[in-house]
Amino acid sequence: MSAVPHITLEQWRALTAVVDAGGYAQAAEVMHKTQSSVSYAVQKLESVLGVKVFKVEGRKAVLTPTGELLYRRARYLLDEAGGLEQAAKKLSAGWEAEIRLVADLAFPT
């Protein structure tokens, strides 16, 4: 089994929201949180990982090269987490994965 993660999905969501929305204030609005809570989530992520995700250029936060890699991986992680939830919902509703094979009689066995 792998190591226990130290970063929450909410912190990864904050990172992706800042990038997708174009800034901390816009991300806070999209996430229905305060700007300080979004900023804190990203700072905590940076602190735990020991890397800088954003650099400030003027009044805008821009991804560092490390931040770009983490952003891409975070998008994938969040998509996978969403897919896992959807699979669980389908299973709880009684849906199961099923594969059906059809072979034509003309096809040699």
Q: Which residues contact 53 (CB under 8 A, 6 or more apart)?
A: 15, 42, 45, 46, 63, 64, 66, 67, 70, 71
Task: Say how far apart CA 37 and CA 81 lie, in whole Å.
Answer: 22
Greater model confidence, 34 or 56: 34
Out of 2-11, 26-35, 38-47, which region has the weakest mean confidence (pLDDT)?
2-11
Over residues 48-97, the pLDDT tens digits come to 999 999 998 888 889 999 999 999 999 999 999 999 999 888 888 877 66
60-63/54-57 β-pairing: antiparallel
Tokens of 74: 């975070």
- Residue 35 is which amino acid? Q
29, pLDDT greater than 90: yes
108, pLDDT greater than 90: no
Tokens of 83: 């897919």
